[in-house]
């Protein structure tokens, strides 16, 4: 049975100052779905603050298990099809095209245009979140950029520096794989596409026609899969390891490196203290590099009968100190420029690794096919390749067929 946390807080809410709109005529309930890496984190205080300022709206918030993204979106898509979707929910760019194909998203252009606090979100974030049709359906909420965690104690004992290239990464992983420690905590299960991307997309693959089966793309993928099948520098459980597994083994000192983001940094520090350090992911031979810009936004669904009230709620979450407060729960970084000075929830070295990674951060294609790639196509083929059931080249051919036929 999936664990679900319900916050059904009655009361009334409206955003003070951010929206110059009259109060709604009658009390309105806004249903909002969310997910945090820490399942115990609760937005109850933010909801109470919102409702205290807005006596005509109450927020019914429901925490949905993330499960690498599969659990959350399976539930969301099912609710949309069944006609029982929330008014609004946290959403990612990888599913925007699918949601638009379903005609599930309400356009937010007019509401955002009338929102006074919109200028506190930097233009590059607005640009990344704009849909391919030129409209805005997402209101940015928080973000992360993936980087490389490493255990500085293990590196120092081996006389190693943190890797900056693929070759250095492989050599470090080989050197550190000994005495019950694996050099790299590979995420072969759900959500692992964002660990694969820095090495394969950063090694020459792309999502354009032919981009997954070029010589460079296939070579990069063979190299990455080979970390498990040939170099043996990852745990035997890598084919099914997800977020919980790779972070648990790193915190226990059983892996020396892993790829994640600032959202897990406080847990890492709690377990390892100053031994945990972070740098941008390694670059390939061309020096360009690639890492995932991990977005999180809120969207309002076209089926909602409470769109204005829903926007008042989600815009509250993306405003000033409220946005900073939310990121303390999510463990991610605020989208508001005013929040940079207010955010004290992350240690400087992890924010610095995130900032240094922004220049080469990217997103997955704005395509209806991306959702299935993330949820099923990538993990299925990756697991089969790691288990020797298909070759790394078969894996890339499957990706090419999925996106380009």
Whether residue 16 has pLDDT greater than 60: no
Alpha carbon distance 201, 353 (integer Å): 20
Q: What is the arithmetic mean of pLDDT over 320-347? A: 88
Q: Tell me: domain 5-145+294-351, CATH 3.40.50.150, correct?
A: no
Q: What is the arithmetic mean of pLDDT over 15-35? A: 68
pLDDT for residue 174? 98
pLDDT for residue 46? 98
Q: Which helix (H) or strand (E) holds 38?
A: none
Nearest to 199, CA basis, from 242, 177, 228: 228
Q: What is the arithmetic mean of pLDDT over 330-346? A: 85
Confidence band of 23 (pLDDT split at 50, 70, 90): low
Alpha carbon distance 99, 113 (integer Å): 22
Whether residue 12 has pLDDT greater than 50: no
Whether residue 371 has pLDDT greater than 90: no
Structure tokens at 97: 């095209």
Q: What is the arithmetic mean of pLDDT over 70-90? A: 95
Whether residue 2 has pLDDT greater than 60: no
pTM summary value: 0.78
Structure tokens at 250: 């790193």
Q: Where are the beta strands (DSSP E) in 301-375?
A: 333-334, 361-362
pLDDT for residue 7? 36
Confidence band of 24 (pLDDT split at 50, 70, 90): low
Q: What is the arithmetic mean of pLDDT over 335-357? A: 88
Nearest to 339, CA basis, from 139, 122, 131: 122
pLDDT for residue 404? 96
122 secondary structure, DSSP code: -
Confidence band of 127 (pLDDT split at 50, 70, 90): confident
Whether residue 3 has pLDDT greater than 50: no
Q: What is the arithmetic mean of pLDDT over 370-377? A: 92
Q: What is the arithmetic mean of pLDDT over 206-233? A: 98
CATH level 3 topology of 147-292+354-404: D-Maltodextrin-Binding Protein; domain 2 (3.40.190)
For residue 298, the Cα-to-chain-centroid distance in whole angstroms is 13
Average pLDDT, the chain: 91
In whole angstroms, how large is the CA radius of gyration of the chain? 21
Alpha carbon distance 262, 146 (integer Å): 8
Q: Within the chain, which residue ranges are assigned CATH 3.40.190.10? A: 5-145+294-351, 147-292+354-404
Q: Which tens digits make up the pLDDT trace of 226-242?
A: 999 999 999 999 999 99
Q: CB-based burial of residue 362 (10 Å sphere; 0-12 exposed, 13-18 middle, 19+ buried)? A: middle
pLDDT for residue 26? 66
């Amino acid at each position: 049975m999936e664990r679900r946390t319900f916050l059904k807080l009655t009361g009334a809410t409206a955003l003070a100052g951010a929206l110059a709109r009259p109060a709604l005529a009658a009390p309105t309930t806004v249903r909002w779905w969310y997910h945090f890496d820490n399942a115990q984190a609760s937005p109850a205080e933010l909801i109470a603050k919102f409702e205290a300022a807005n006596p005509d709206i109450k927020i019914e918030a429901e925490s949905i298990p993330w499960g690498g993204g599969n659990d959350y979106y399976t539930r969301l898509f099912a609710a949309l099809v069944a006609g029982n979707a929330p008014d609004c929910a946290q959403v990612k760019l990888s599913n925007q095209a699918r949601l638009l194909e379903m005609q599930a998203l309400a356009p937010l252009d007019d509401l955002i245009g009338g929102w006074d606090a919109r200028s506190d979100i930097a233009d590059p974030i607005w640009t990344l979140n704009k849909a391919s049709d030129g409209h805005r359906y997402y209101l940015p909420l928080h973000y992360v950029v993936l980087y490389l965690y490493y255990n500085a104690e293990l590196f120092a004992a081996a006389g190693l520096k943190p890797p900056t290239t693929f070759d250095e990464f492989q050599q470090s992983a080989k050197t550190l794989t000994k005495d019950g420690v694996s050099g790299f905590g590979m995420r072969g299960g759900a959500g692992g596409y964002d660990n694969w991307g820095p090495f394969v997309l950063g090694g020459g693959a792309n999502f354009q026609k032919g981009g997954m089966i070029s010589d460079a793309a296939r070579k990069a993928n063979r190299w990455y899969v080979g970390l498990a099948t040939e170099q043996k520098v990852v745990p035997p459980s890598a084919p099914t390891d997800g977020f919980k597994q790779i972070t648990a083994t790193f915190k226990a000192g059983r892996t020396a490196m892993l790829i994640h983001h600032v959202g897990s940094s406080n847990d890492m520090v709690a377990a390892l203290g100053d031994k945990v350090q972070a740098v941008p992911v390694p670059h390939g031979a061309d020096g360009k590099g690639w890492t995932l810009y991990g977005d999180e936004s809120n969207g309002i669904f076209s089926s909602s009968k409470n769109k204005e009230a829903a926007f008042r709620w989600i815009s509250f979450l993306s405003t000033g100190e409220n946005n900073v407060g939310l990121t303390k729960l999510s463990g991610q970084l605020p989208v508001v420029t005013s929040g940079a000075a207010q955010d004290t929830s992350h240690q400087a070295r992890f924010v610095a690794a995130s900032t240094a990674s922004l220049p080469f951060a990217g997103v997955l294609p704005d395509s209806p096919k991306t959702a299935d790639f993330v949820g099923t196509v990538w993990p299925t083929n990756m697991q089969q390749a790691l288990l020797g059931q298909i070759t790394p080249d078969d894996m890339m051919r499957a990706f090419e067929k999925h996106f380009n036929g």
